[in-house]
Structure 1
């Protein structure tokens, strides 16, 4: 069995006035082991600085450019992602995505754990 969806037909979810707008493709695809979504950013928008409890996250830029700040132990990097580039971030690394221009990013978290994000206090 397989599932297919056009992300533009997925349910849209907002985060109480925070960026990004989430296209919830995962619930439409009935994914069991991963949690896919498409994040839609306006220029200059950024998501909350966070890390994950269990999820490893894969980011694929579909359009636009995003700067990803990643912090591990004593090191902080900013990685510029352009269309087609792929980045994987382990759960324990703090991260934040900021759109340099209007952008869409495919985000896949695994395992499929709901509300796994941990925000900085």
Structure 2
């Protein structure tokens, strides 16, 4: 069996105090082993600087351009554009900031409740 949905048919979900806008495709598809979402960034928007407790995260830039700040031993900033794919292990700190309006597919695995850890 399989499940299918068009990203443009998913209603955005506003989460208080969090940018960018979230398209909760995982809530629609209900996968067992991964936690997918699509994030829509306006130019200049960024998510919170964070790392994960368990989840490895895969980022696929669907359209736009962003800067990804990643820190484990060293801090590195990489530019991501349409079609780029990035995997970040749970223990690495990360943040995405939109250079221009962008959409990013984010897939976390395993499928656990949001286990983001934010800087104090």
Which string of whole-angstrom CA distances, capped at 9 and with x for unpartnered residues, describes residues 14-56 of structure 1? 2214211000001111210000000000000000000000000
Q: Partner of 1:115 in structure 2?
A: 114
How far off is 1:5 after superposition?
0.6
Once the two structures are superposed, the pairs formed by residues 16-31 of structure 1 within 5 Å of their partners are 16-31=16-31
Q: Partner of 1:12 in structure 2?
A: 12
Structure with a larger share of its residues in strand: 1
C-alpha distance in 2 between matches for 1:16 and 1:110: 24
Runs of 4+ deviating beyond 4 Å: none
- Count matched residues: 120
Tell me, what secondary structure is at the counterpart of 1:14? coil
**Structure 2: runs of 5 or more not aligned:** none
Give the CA RMSD over aligned residues. Answer: 0.8
Once the two structures are superposed, the pairs formed by residues 1-121 of structure 1 within 5 Å of their partners are 1-73=1-73, 75-121=74-120
Say whether the 8 Å CA contact 1:26–1:35 is kept in structure 2.
yes
How far off is 1:3 after superposition?
0.6
How far off is 1:94 after superposition?
0.3
How far off is 1:83 after superposition?
0.6
- TM normalised by structure 2 equals 0.97
Tell me, what secondary structure is at the counterpart of 2:8? helix
